[in-house]
Structure 1
Amino acid sequence: MNALTLRDIVAEELGHSYISLTGNCRKKGCLRKTRWSHKLPGFGVRVYDSGRKVYIVQALMQGRTRTVTIGNAKIVNRRQAMTVARRVLIRAQSGQNPADERMKKRKVPLFADFLKSYWKTMSPKWKPSTRKTQTNYRTAYLDNAFTGKFLDEIVEEDVVSWFNYVTNRGGPGAGNRCLDILRAMLNKAEEWGLREEGSNPCTFVRINKRRKFERFLSDQELERLGNALDAARKTYPLHSVIIYLLILTGCRKSEITGLRWSEVKGRRLVLTDSKTGPRTVWLGEEAHMLLTCLPRRKGHPEVFWNPRTRKPIRSMGSFWVKIKEDANLPGVRLHDLRHSFASHAAARSETLPMIGKLLGHAHITTTSRYAHLDDGQVIEASQRIGDLLEEAMCGKRTDIGHER
């Protein structure tokens, strides 16, 4: 430990940006005397001929005596100075090297600075849609998070407090999504050596309970929806076709509303930017015919370009509200059409891997969330199994009776 280290200790204790190192006064005419404390050896007050008084602390480090000014007696009182001196002497005697710790901390960036560098490094690797979504969450909830904290100072309590704030402001879904982003960031910080391995404070933070939707449309509900769309098709032809395609393909809304003519390849949609990356959607005859009948507008690559608004159709909110009212489908979401596609496929004995391929799922566990059967189909299946078991049991009883 050297003189700079001791000076750093005092600066750390007092919060001063600079503490002067004292030594022998070599200025001509400079007179001073030091009054040492009997209660705390090494602590004293230095009095100059000008009347100025400063508190000092003296400690033996690496065989050399070092003296450091704690502060002017007009600014720091004796009790405060003694407290600082006592801590300095203890740390010096224990052989701690705060200078090394401070250098280490200087290498760890503030959270705000790490966020910028992380985004610059990682976001180019994300899909455009993912980058857009993640950036929206960053702007809303991450840019102003953990203000003034260094990256390795963030602990679980900080994360929980921030997570609750995001949840209260943006809802459970936003809270979970932002927590996933932060968890990935801090994992990368460990990988880059900016946090200790296994120190991610997000690890044991409990996410918000996810709502499980098992709503899908029955054959009767689909019939009512078809009638409502047929009635609206004259007034809103493009909006109606979008709904039809969502039903017939099981695509996500953004995959259809963002569809470009360059992605329409005969009986296929070759999507360049779906949620799980590029994928192919195979079209049935009805879906293919709907797309074939749509006009192509020169200079506009979007399939669903609205000539009335001179913009591509992106929002379906108001139209869907009207359609589901006409079809008497209260509470049904657009995403339930995708759910219905998967559920009806499962009800017709399509395998989960096949349904996952049709929906563009990356993992079979995701597909299993959609493959539900309605109560009627479950009852029918239970009845069929029960009949088979009953027949088997009855046959067994007949045989036994015959033997007797």
Structure 2
Amino acid sequence: MASRKYNFTTKICEKLAGPAPGSKAKEIEYTDMATSVKLMVSKNRKTWYCRYTFNGKKPAIRIGEFPGISVDEARKKAIEYGAMVDRGIDPKSQIDMVKGMPTFAEFANDEYMPYAEKHKRSADMDESKLRLHMLKVFGHKRICDISRRDVDMYRTAIAQSHSNATSNRHLALLSRMLGLAIAWERGIVKNPCAGIKKLQESSDVGRALKSDEIKRLQMALDAEPNRLGAQAILLLMYTGLRHAEVLTLPLSAVDLKEGTIFLSHTKSGRSRYVTLNPVAIDLLKSIKPTPGSPWVFPGVDPKKPMNNIRKVWMRALASAKVKHARIHDLRHSLAGAAAVAGVSLYTIQKMLGHASSQTTQRYAHLSDSRAMRDASMAAVTMLTNTDR
């Protein structure tokens, strides 16, 4: 029998023949003298394999077909598998594990979101980030194939389309998800988000919209075709509530008779009652509940709350000819107006639901300006009093 061992080259592999006509054999195996790689030749194809010994067994791993996989590529893969065996790792079991590994979309929908809905108050915000952004980029990838570069490119794109702060929130969610995949032994051992530094966020507190800007925004929102989205923004404008607090507001939390909203979960982790002003009460009275929905502002699926009013906000800004502002600036605008009107910082703290008075101190200069104007006017009145 002729030797079936060769120092493989492309030309040699091209000439290697399969079983002779009439032979009972379906294929012939040839061995590379330089490595453990094998070339299995049948009538119609030539396939690379790697054979090795592990725990007394001699499994084989299919590498790919020649010439699609070159001689050098087949050797490199065989050497890689050999190194794994030397480290006490069974290459075939690793390959089988990778094949069974979920894609990012499968992990997000089947494992992460059910977990988040039970353990996170911000699960709806996570769902929005995943549906609108992450699944489009990572959905088709297996979680083990998401690289550090993939993560860095993604967070850079989000920073360019939104803001550094938003990019950091996306990075935190992605890191948390992949961290759980490691903890749940889903086949990855290193988090590609580890070590990626957060982008620097702006230290400003936004801007307070002027009275005429608020009026123009009200007119634009009154004409907005997405009525529920417009009403959600108006409620933000009239109450100073946080974005998520309004969008996830249950009907059961609103008591129009008492003029209050009960927030069972807030950013500070504490529940609180919000006292509504007459304008906010009238707005809530005008909103007709959606049959079968538990939310004041239901989404496309009435069983879920609305999760995105950014498009409505951008249309309103453009229609009202108001320069760029964030939805969160409505909260600053209400607080700033209250401070200028002479409302105490303690009351503003309670109105906004700040856990710490230090957070409310950002409005102190507005309150001080009002107090100084009043004091100055009192002094001028005393000085110019002709009856003294």
Q: TM-score under structure 2 normalisation?
A: 0.55
Hey, what does 2:171 align to over in structure 1?
179
Identity %: 18
1:121 aligns with 2:109: no
State the distance in 2 between where 1:74 and 1:214 align.
61
State the distance in 2 between where 1:102 and 1:214 align.
51
Structure 1 residues 60-89: Cα deviation after superposition (integer angstroms, max 9, x where no partner):
666788899988888877666666666666
Hey, what does 2:90 align to over in structure 1?
97
1:280 aligns with 2:273: yes
User: 149, 161, 185: which is aligned to 2:153?
Assistant: 161
CA RMSD, Structure 1 to Structure 2 (Å): 6.0
Higher Rg of the two aligned structures: 1
- Residue 86 to residue 359, structure 1, CA distance change in 2 (3 Å): closer
- Residue 101 to residue 294, structure 1, CA distance change in 2 (3 Å): closer
Displacement after TM superposition at 1:143 (Å):
1.3
What are the equivalent positions in structure 2 for 1:4-403 lying under 5 Å apart?
40=34, 96-106=89-99, 108-117=101-110, 118-123=112-117, 130-146=122-138, 148-172=140-164, 174-194=166-186, 199=191, 201=193, 203-207=195-199, 209-210=201-202, 212-213=204-205, 215-216=207-208, 249-252=239-242, 263-266=254-257, 268-271=259-262, 276=267, 279-283=272-276, 287-288=277-278, 290=279, 300-301=288-289, 335-343=328-336, 350=344, 355-361=348-354, 363-364=355-356, 367-368=359-360, 370-374=362-366, 377=369
- Residue 190 to residue 30, structure 1, CA distance change in 2 (3 Å): closer
Q: Do 1:339 and 1:370's aligned partners in 2 also have CA atoms closer than 8 Å?
A: no
Q: Do 1:156 and 1:205's aligned partners in 2 also have CA atoms closer than 8 Å?
A: no
Structure 1 residues 126-151: Cα deviation after superposition (integer angstroms, max 9, x where no partner):
55xx5554433222211122355332
2:274 is paired with a residue whose SS is: strand
Displacement after TM superposition at 1:123 (Å):
3.0
Letter in structure 1 aligned against 2:254: E
- Residue 59 to residue 197, structure 1, CA distance change in 2 (3 Å): closer
State the distance in 1 between where 2:314 and 2:152 align.
34
Letter in structure 2 aligned against 1:109: P
2:180 is paired with a residue whose SS is: helix
1:137 is paired with a residue whose SS is: helix
Letter in structure 2 aligned against 1:101: Q
- Residue 54 to residue 178, structure 1, CA distance change in 2 (3 Å): closer
Structure 1 residues 345-396: Cα deviation after superposition (integer angstroms, max 9, x where no partner):
66758456x53332124x4388347434149739959x99xxxxxxxxxxxx
- Residue 98 to residue 359, structure 1, CA distance change in 2 (3 Å): same
Q: Do 1:263 and 1:272's aligned partners in 2 also have CA atoms closer than 8 Å?
A: no
State the distance in 2 between where 1:180 and 1:53 align.
47
Hey, what does 2:11 align to over in structure 1?
none
State the distance in 2 between where 1:196 and 1:75 align.
29
Letter in structure 1 aligned against 2:155: F
Query: Structure 1, unaligned stretches of length 5 or more?
Result: 1-26, 306-313, 385-404
